[in-house]
Structure 1
Amino acid sequence: MKLAFAGTPSFAATILRGLLGSEHEVGLVISQPDRPRGRGRKVTRSPVAELATEAGLSLAQPARIGEAAGEISAHDALVVAAYGQILRADTIYAAPSGPGTSTPPCSPATAAPPYRARHHGGEGETGVSLMRMDEGLDTGPFALQLRTPIPPDMTGGELTAALAELGAKAVVEGMSSLAKKMLTLTEQDNDLATYAPKLGDEERVIRWGEPVERVHDRVRALTPHIGARAYHPDLSGPIKVLRARISEKNVRRGVPGTILPAKEHILVACGEGVLEVLELQAPGSKMLSAPDFLRGRRLEGTFSS
């Protein structure tokens, strides 16, 4: 099939790369315009735009995707993956075979990205769905779903990468079925849909009074791109806890947030259990392992709860 592809971040670039290695032809790539990014606010292309340029593909970067509807109509189907705009009807139905989109998770949930909320909640499984878009928000019928477990120590970054690879597989399989007119669609039960809200600032702060399993889920879900925050009275800003594990060490616990005595280890009492902090970043510093962090400073007392 001759496809138009719309996407922006690294997640979408992985899916585009999967299509480029398949039997399908990508005739047009649409991505968000170049924008200032990072601390230096340097104008930068999106990962999808970078890949399209490297691969010598036709690239469009309109302010609104509807401006590319005419170009999309020259293709058999439109694949959308994390593009970053809500599509209007004239764009959704521009291609003869209609659009499909690869989006986690497997069950009806709307947000960006809903799989992080699943991870944050300690769920053991997630996945991707290929659906035919309609004018609602993730309300179209499913074409296929692929699932993957969430191992107990997997970080948010690792899960995102795994889901991107799974999404690429789903899109390639789905487009092959569409080309053969064998794509089966299943309507969603929108009454079962849940809303997965964006994680606000309060959700980034570790709540030491929670059970250690819940604290650990928060840390790994927010690593590495956001980082779970912890506040200590001796520091001017938040510490980012970037990797941790549930401690099996037999130590006497204090009130939640208490830093427990342990040579070359950072152990913190939780509402139930003890968390061992493995990697962290102090304000204005780089990420360090716990032993390296402790060589440069002492960390005693209690984190704010």
Structure 2
Amino acid sequence: MRIVFAGTPEFAAAALEAVLRAGHSVPLVLTQPDRPSGRGMKLRPSAVKQVALDHGIAVCQPRSLRLDGRYPEDAAQAREALLDAEPDLMVVAAYGLILPRWVLELPRHGCFNIHASLLPRWRGAAPIQRAIEAGDTSTGITIMQMDEGLDTGDMLLVHELPITDAHTAARLHDELAAAGADAIVEAIRLLERGELHAQPQPDDGVTYAAKLEKAEAALDLTRPASELARRIRAFNPVPGATVPLPGLEQPVKVWAAQALAEPVAAEPGTVLRASPEGVDIATGEGVLRLLEVQKAGGRRQPVAAFVQGWKPA
């Protein structure tokens, strides 16, 4: 198989590595333009670009693929590169650009997307985080034949994974990245054998995973503690979850917490107890126990260390 790969972050890099290990030819990689990051805000390549460079693969980084869009010169350059690559298939994983019809139709077998949910649940930008936040007990990988809709294409292969109370978004991301890498290699193998069969997504159960916003980091303590604990896991590490505490000018970032199912009469946000076991805060229903926190400008630390230097006024 001659495969063009389109992706950007670590989630996609794992899949690219797997496709290469499986022995497929990857003549071209599409990825987002280099972005400034780190303290010096230096331009850094995406995780996918770094894999491509390590393997001597040609890289194209258009700002858009729309020939009639804002960057037609970028799209034209990408089109030329894709035509030269003569792909049998394009594999797409967390690329970050919309693929117009001309891209979807260019490879002989079209474009396969590695999506981190059990479609049609959690179509959209943040399926990993929204699944944890909603309290789902399972998620997974769907290999999908891409069409012009938002994650609406036919399903080709599904791998299911459980979600436990120990899963943060970071941990579930890594597990799904590994599952996605295995799933795309399996899907390509079945395609080569003529044994890959498409199944339309059901009309029922459609949900959308909205993009994460920085404003969501501030926890609404009038909500139930169980919901807040899930949100803390879902937003670890990005965008994070924050809680104001007395005696501190800025809210603390909460890295880990647990919900205590105990009755509480105090106003939401009231600190009930502070000990090496946790900082207990009243919520709209139950108690939220903070277990690992980070003060603004400080390091993340277990609550036992935090309370030693915290003076609640």
Structure 1-normalised TM-score? Answer: 0.90
Q: Distance in 1 between matches of 2:264 and 2:63?
A: 58
Q: Corresponding residue for 1:127?
A: 140
- In the other structure, the counterpart of 2:168 is 155
Letter in 2 for 1:54: D
| Aligned pair partner of 1:70 in 55, 74, 80 | 80
> Unpaired segments of 5 or more residues in structure 1?
301-305
User: Does the CA-based 8 Å contact 1:253-1:260 persist in structure 2?
Assistant: no
Provide, for residues 228-255 of structure 1, a one-character-per-residue CA deviation record: whole Å limited to 9, x for no partner: 111235322221101112347x897633
Check 1:203–1:259 CA distance in 2 against 1; reply closer, same or farther (3 A cut). Answer: same
Matched residue type, 2:97: Q
Q: 2:233 is aligned with what amino acid?
A: R
Moved more, 116-125 or 61-70: 61-70
In the alignment, the residues of structure 2 paired with residue 201 and residue 57 of structure 1 have an alpha-carbon distance, to the nearest angstrom, of 35
Question: Does 2:164 match 1:164?
Answer: no
Structure 2 regions of 5+ residues with no counterpart? 66-74
Given candidates 95, 106, 112, the residue that maps to 1:100 is 112
Matched letter for residue 268 of structure 1: I
Q: Take 1:69 and 1:145, find their aligned partners in 2: how far apart are those partners?
A: 31
SS in structure 1 opposite 2:187? Answer: helix
Equivalent position of 2:40 in the other structure: 40
Q: Is the 8 A contact 1:34 1:46 kept in 2?
A: yes
> Partner of 1:221 in structure 2?
234
Is 1:287 aligned to 2:300, yes or no?
A: yes
Match of residue 269 from structure 1 = 282
Amino acid at match of 2:202: D
- % same residue: 36
Superposition pairs for residues 118-267 of structure 1, below 5 Å? 118-190=131-203, 192-247=205-260, 254-264=266-276, 265-267=278-280
In structure 2, C-alpha distance between the alignment counterparts of 1:192 and 1:125, rounded to whole Å: 14
Letter paired with 2:239: I
Aligned residues: 299
Tell me which amino acid in the other structure corresponds to 1:72.
Answer: L
Structure 1: how far apart are the matches of 2:92 and 2:113? 5
Determine which of 75, 97, 100 is the counterpart of 1:88.
100
Q: Is the 8 A contact 2:133 2:231 kept in 1?
A: yes
Poorly superposed stretches of 4+, deviation over 3 Å? 189-192, 199-202, 250-254
Counterpart residue type for residue 137 of structure 1: L
Q: 1:278 aligned to 2:288?
A: no
Contact 1:231–1:238 (Cα < 8 Å) also in 2? yes
SS of the equivalent of 1:261 reads strand
What CA RMSD, in Å, does the superposition of the two structures yield over aligned residues? 2.1
Report the Cα offset of residue 284 of structure 1.
Answer: 1.6
Shift of 1:262: 3.9
Q: Cα 1:120–1:290, aligned 2, differ >3 Å: closer, same or farther?
A: same
Q: TM-score, normalised by structure 2?
A: 0.88
Distance 1:129 1:78 in 2: 16
More displaced, 79-88 or 115-124? 115-124
Q: Contact 1:13–1:48 at 8 Å: present in 2 too?
A: yes
Deviations 1:2-61 (CA, angstroms, capped at 9, x unpaired): 211000011111111221221322222111111212453211111111111122222222
AA matched with 1:286: R
Whole-angstrom distance in 2 between the partners of 1:58 and 1:86: 21
